Amino acid sequence: MRCPKALTHRIVFHVAALLPLLWLLWDLSQNQLTANPIREIQLRTGRYALTLLALSLACTPAYRISGLRQFLDARRPLGLYAFAYASLHFLNFMAVDYRFDFSLIREDLLEKRYAVAGFATYLILLALAVTSTRGWRERLGKKWKRLHRLVYVAAILGVVHFLWQVKADATIPVIYAIAVVLLLAFRLPHLQKALRKNNSKIKRQRSKPQLKT
């Protein structure tokens, strides 16, 4: 019996989101995480979190351009996967790298600006993940939308965290920065208006009866 198309898409989506974790676990089991595995885990989980966060920001513009509802449906799970990888990133920092030595952690937060930016990013993602359910949306009402606009702040802080952490070649963080800036630019009022107009046009075209040939 074949799976319905929607279910197949969901399975493919979740497998794709989990592939980086499986790849990381495979490399860990094979001792292929460079000479400094703790740092490699830290870098990978951070990049995965930032990538998924950027993809969640891309969902609304993609929907406006294409009219495909699937993009909007993917927005929440992408955000939650971004939070999951950010949690692994944070846990690796706290438990593996610093072994829950809170005096050292506090020292980092006071002296290293990248740690402050990273911690602030994680706190925002935590708040958004906790309040992502329908129940919280109903409880918060209009405040829910304002709260979840903090995802833009999280994306900016995440990029800043990455940029400040890199000591040599900043090419990859700069690419992330450009991507996030472009995605945020889609939120500018005149672009939003143009995208909404495009979306309405697509909906009208799809609602027109198709002539049989």
Interval 24-59: pLDDT, tens = 999 999 888 888 899 999 999 999 999 999 999 999
What is the token pair recorded at 149? 């606009």
Residue 145 lies in a domain: yes
Which pLDDT score is estimated for 208? 64
Which pLDDT score is estimated for 1? 46
Dist CA 1 CA 178 (whole Å): 45
Count: domains in the chain = 1
Residue 104 lies in a domain: yes
Residue 115 lies in a domain: yes
Q: What is the pLDDT of residues 130-140, one digit of tens each?
A: 999 999 999 99
Residue pair 133/38 in contact (Cβ under 8 Å)? The answer is no
Q: Crossing angle of helices 150-165/113-130, nearest 10°?
A: 150
Which pLDDT score is estimated for 210? 55
Dist CA 124 CA 128 (whole Å): 6
Task: Supply the range of the domain harboring residue 73.
Answer: 5-184
Which pLDDT score is estimated for 198? 67
Dist CA 213 CA 204 (whole Å): 21
Q: How far is it between the farthest Cα atoms of the chain? A: 75
Residue 48 lies in a domain: yes
Residue 58 lies in a domain: yes
**What's the chain's Rg over C-alpha atoms?**
20
- pLDDT grade for 162, boundaries at 50, 70 and 90: very high
Residue pair 62/71 in contact (Cβ under 8 Å)? The answer is yes
Residue 25 lies in a domain: yes
Provide the whole-model pTM: 0.87
- Which one has a higher pLDDT value, 63 or 8? 63
Residue 57 lies in a domain: yes
For residue 46, which of 175, 156, 128, 161 has the smallest C-alpha distance?
161
Residue 195 lies in a domain: no
Which of 120-133 are b and which e, b meaning 16 or more Cβ less than 10 Å from the residue's Cβ?
Answer: bbbebbeebbebbe
What is the token pair recorded at 94? 């706290």
